[in-house]
Structure formats: C-alpha cells, structure tokens
Structure 1
C-alpha cells in the first residue's frame, strides 16, 4: 500500500513539473473517464482537436468549395511540402528528400527494390529475425523476385541488432541491409550511424524503418548518412488509422532511384500523358499514384505541435515517462513474476516499454474492458506505449497499477 501511494505521489510530482503537460489538453479524449489510461500511442496516436477542425474545414471549403481546382492550388504539392516539414521537424533531413505517399508496406517495397537494383551484381539482403513481420515478408518477396539471398542478423530478445551482429553477416555480396531504428517489440534503439557506416564500408546500402521512432525519438538522417528510410504516421505522428506513410531517399541516390511501380504522378510530366514513362526529377519519382490528401491532414497538425514543443523536449519527456514505468515495474510487477523485456538504459530505449508474463493475453482483454488500453504482442508481452505529448505520468501509473491488480488477483 505504501508503494502504490508513493508511486501515485511521484507521478503527480512529475506531471506538475512537466513543461509539456499543457499540450495534453489539445488531444481529443485526454480526459475521457471511460478510458483512464491509454497506453497504446505507439500503435495509434490520439487525434488532436485541431484535426477535427481541419477536416471539417477541408470538406466544407477546400473539397466542397474549390472542388477539382484544389489539385492545382495546393493538393499536388502537399506530399512534398509535408515531407519537407517532417524532414525539418522530426527526421533531420534537408528539403527535397522526404515525401508522403502510400503505406509503409508499399514504400518499403519501393525503396528496397530500387536499392537492390542500384546494387548491381551484389546478391544478399541482410535483415534481423525479430524485425516487424511486414519488413521481413517484403524482403522475402524481393529476394524471391530478384534471385537474392537473405542473411539473418541475430538480436537479443529484450534488445535489438547491434553493430557487432551486423558485422558478422555483411560482406562483399551485401546489397542492402534492412533494420528498424526502434525495435517494435523491445523498444531497443539501434545505433544507426555506427551500423550505417559499417554497411557503407562493406559497399552496401541501408534502409531504416522508423515506424516506432518518428515523432518520439530524434533522428538525424542526413548527419547519419542514411541511404533510405520509411515510416508510418499513425503512431507518434497521430495521423489516424491508415494515414499515409513517408519515405526518405538521400539526395545522392535520387538519380539512380528506379521506381518499381511506375505510376503517372511519378513521371516528369504527368499531365502530358506521354506514351512512355520518364521519371520525375528528385524525390517526386518515389510517388506512383494519386496522393491520399485527406490522410495527410492530421499529420500536419501533429508535426506542427512537435515543432512547437521541440524534438529534444519530446525525447526528454519520453525518457522520463519510460523511466518512471521501469521504476514502477520493479516495485509492483516484478514481484508478481513479470519480466522486463526492454532495455534499462534510457539511451537505448524508445518510447515504449515491454513487460512479459505468461497470462498477459488474458490480462490485456480484461484491462481493455476497464478502459485500460495497453498493447499485447506475442508471445506474452504487454507494450506500454507512452506517447510523450499525450500521455501523463498519472495515466501511466493508472495503467501499471491496473496490470498489477490483475496479476495479483490471478495469483
């Protein structure tokens, strides 16, 4: 009892001292009594109130008022304009290297397929066995399509791929290495600059998946000399269900980027309706079809909010949130047989914390019935997704306390 009271008091102190706490009120549902703890922002972020207004305005005035004229007036430019803003605010990328288009799955395919073609006669793709299924499935398909071989880097269950693990499997036949900046299960932050440098010295290229980091963990894609990157926008970028993803292609690789899905809006003169496909210059050649404009609206609001807060402040809040969660785990979940499956070092930990217990599949269902919403991941993990701008310390404690209560009742 003293432990729970002390942790609740500590959460209140941290909220009172949080310089970003005032921004939480801008998210819809932040004070919903039926959802006392939403700890799944690493899967689907809360919507911003500003997005509700933006969507209403768009339907009434832009779509409803400007009709097809909207394409010429602003819509066709939005994928690149928003890409540049993402690059500046979140990704550490200079203009002209990011674009918003398609889903993460489609963009990963495009980037990887173009990269292995640019790799000439190199015959191997390197990836890790614990990467997100989509990443692995796409590379399996490309390997079969192009007659390439997959090489597997090993990752610790509660960690991720280290430079040493990559060094063991790359070599003169390496064409492409595909890894995640933050591991989807453990939350481990990969050493992007060190791994990228290793691969470059071996003559290969690297494609980084930033789905679980963009908007919560700072990235410096240009400074890290990254070749390609992609990520979704419905987690920490709060773009909503099925919001379009983004792609980064370093300027030095754009001239040899061969688009594997040749659509009209990736052509140099799409409205010329030419007989043959001639790719557009620059990042536009990554685009295939008509951009999903409505899906980009919410992303703009979250990128603006991140810009207001600053990525350094977002990261500082994330480290405090996950640090508090780890401390609470040690005091109330570890004694009940739960196991921490995320790094303890905050420098190696993203914005979610994974805790394992054999009964967590059933526990998660019971928690959801109470409006306590974490995320379950096989084989037996609960992920506590702590979105820095929308999650409070008190909310985090409410969720962890409820998990402890469920485990205690089952014991």
Structure 2
C-alpha cells in the first residue's frame, strides 16, 4: 500500500514501455534529429502546459526547464527580488521546507537582502509591519509536516497589498489540491515533479511565471535554451519571448518523457475530482482509525477539518521512524519526519478505500504492540 506519494509517487505500470518506445523508435534511429522530428524541443512547454491544467494556469505560463526544485526556486526568488530592487527584505515562514529556507538564506546573502523568518502566525503581522520594505515572500500552501493549509488567494492578496512579489512552493499541493494560480493572481510558483505528479525520482521541477510578468522578469540562470534564437549561438543573451525565457540548458529528455507519461491520468481526471477523492480517502482513514483505536485521533497533528488540510495527514507518534519501518515490513508504505511525525498521503489515483482501511488497521496494531 503506497501511502507516501507526498514524498515519491510510484510509476505507472506501463512506464517502461513508454521509455522503450522513445529510446527504440526516436533516440536510437534519429539521434540528434529527435529534437526536431519528435518534438523533444517543445517538451518542456508541452509538459508545462499539462501541469498548468492542474494548477489553474492558462497555457504559456508553466515550463519544465529541466532543473531541480532547488535550482528552480533559486531562479524564481532572485527574479522576484529583482522585480523589487529597492526593497531590502525577503520573507519566509520558519516552518517552510528546509530547502526553501536554505535557498532564501543564500539569496539574501547574494543580493544583500535581510531575511525575515516568521512563524505561520507571525507571517501576516510581518507583512503589516514591514510590508513596504518586503521585496518577495516565499510561501507554501501545504505545511509539509502537518498538512495544514495556507490559502493562496488571501495570502497573495495581502502580499500584493504590501507591494511584495509572491513565490509559491507547490510541491506538496500539485496534483492533489486546486491552486488556481491565475485566479489567485500568483506571481511566480515552483514545484517538483516526483511527488503526487509521479514523474519519478529526481523528476525535473516546473516554474510558473504569470503572463503579466513575463516581459519584465529577469531570471538569473540564462541558458541557451532560454535564448530568443538558441541556434544562432550568439555570445550575448537575449531572452526568448514568453515562458521560454525561463528555460536553461538542454532538458533531460527521458525524465521529461516519464513526467509527461505520469501526467496523463491526472489531467484526464481533473484537479477538482482528484481533490474530492483525496478528501474522501483522508476522512475515511480518520473514521477507520477512530473505530479501531480512538486514541489515535488524539495524536492527530493535522487539522481535523478537511477544508483546512492538504493531501496528507500527520500523527504524533513516539519512535516514528521505527513505526515507519515496522509498517513497511507489513506492506504499508508511509513516511516519518523528525522528531515524532508519521505522514500518511492519499494520492487519489492509486490509493483505494480498502487500502486505507487496511493501513488504519495495521497502524493501530503496530502502535498497540509498541506500548
């Protein structure tokens, strides 16, 4: 039972066939001509637009440039700060994913900005107190530990009221929750391709740049695929029009193919249906856990209300890493986060209610044995 898709989603059953098709019928016979004959050059945009349908973004605003999530976030945060050159502060939540904190610290050092690290409760207060001096705010809609939601629309509106640029990390939301980037007036957003999107270990990240910002955004990583005329081999960088300016070097083709393949069932289902099923599965788990071991509900670290949480639940469990390994031995794959959290993710396409019932039973059994 795969209940850790918020960490790494499993492959589709026919992924090997798709990769073999590309290798045997495109790469092997055509080699470099595959970039032109088989649409490889367009794949970063093609895959980006597919992800965009899940993010609520119109075509031409999302690209998979082939970079890691960390590199893509760095690109976005520096670009956001450059849009507000005169502002000295960068804002982030203390509970952000560690990479986000590390990148924010690095960007602040690089650009001579001061980093404000605030609690979730203090984030809005910091916007009010320092808003006119904040260049950019790095935010996530889902707390990666507890699953607690932060609403994208109201938070973005508060940032804009202060004149700050928003950079959203959607890694724990994409493919399982509506984000409505266009309707919420988000500026920039990034996310990984290997969690709920199922692109595989190390799948490349994506970058969203709102269409209104594309003519002026100045991204620090200027690779030849982001050039207006990449095959002219000019010594001077001239950014391409639109989202293509966010591309960098030669994209990792097979990783893009795997991500594109994984997106098919997700985009066919649609994000609203995916979100409804996710909530149904998570609510069912709480029902099963409560019936099997009422004490478990008292260990819930996530909001009990479905509308206030993301795609996973978290429980406070002593010796969480040990519990994770014991459950793996019993066929239940979930994950732990220090110091004492068990995370259970409900990817809507491949997790069933029957599996959720079994997982709740096995978790209760393991915890009862450990007492």
Q: What TM-score comes out, normalization by structure 1 length?
A: 0.86
Distance 2:242 2:273 in 1: 32
In structure 2, the residue matched to 1:174 is: 134
1:264: how far off?
1.2
1:1-12 correspondence runs (5 A) = none
In structure 2, the residue matched to 1:321 is: 281
Counterpart of 2:345 (choices 385, 403, 407) is 385
Structure-2 change in CA distance of 1:172 and 1:251 (3 Å): same
1:172: how far off?
0.6
Distance 2:227 2:195 in 1: 31
CA contact (8 A) 2:88 2:134 kept: yes
CA contact (8 A) 1:126 1:170 kept: no
1:38 and 2:6 matched: no
CA contact (8 A) 2:128 2:162 kept: no
In structure 2, the residue matched to 1:152 is: 117
Long gaps (5+) in structure 2: none
CA contact (8 A) 2:334 2:342 kept: yes
1:112-158 superposed Cα distances (whole Å, 9 cap, x missing partner): 00110111210111110111000010000000111111112312xxx
Distance 1:154 1:333 in 2: 33
Counterpart of 2:305 (choices 345, 366, 373) is 345
Counterpart of 1:62 (choices 26, 38, 47) is 26
Paired positions, count: 369
CA contact (8 A) 2:227 2:245 kept: yes
1:72: how far off?
1.4
Structure-2 change in CA distance of 1:80 and 1:336 (3 Å): closer
Counterpart of 1:51 (choices 9, 12, 15) is 15
1:79 and 2:44 matched: yes
CA contact (8 A) 1:126 1:169 kept: no
Counterpart of 1:104 (choices 62, 69, 72) is 69
Structure-2 change in CA distance of 1:122 and 1:113 (3 Å): same
CA contact (8 A) 1:361 1:376 kept: yes
1:169: how far off?
5.3
Distance 2:57 2:94 in 1: 29
CA contact (8 A) 1:326 1:353 kept: no
Long gaps (5+) in structure 1: 1-36, 156-160
1:106: how far off?
0.6
CA contact (8 A) 1:123 1:148 kept: yes
CA contact (8 A) 1:230 1:245 kept: yes
Structure-2 change in CA distance of 1:58 and 1:150 (3 Å): same
Distance 1:404 1:204 in 2: 46
Distance 2:204 2:2 in 1: 23
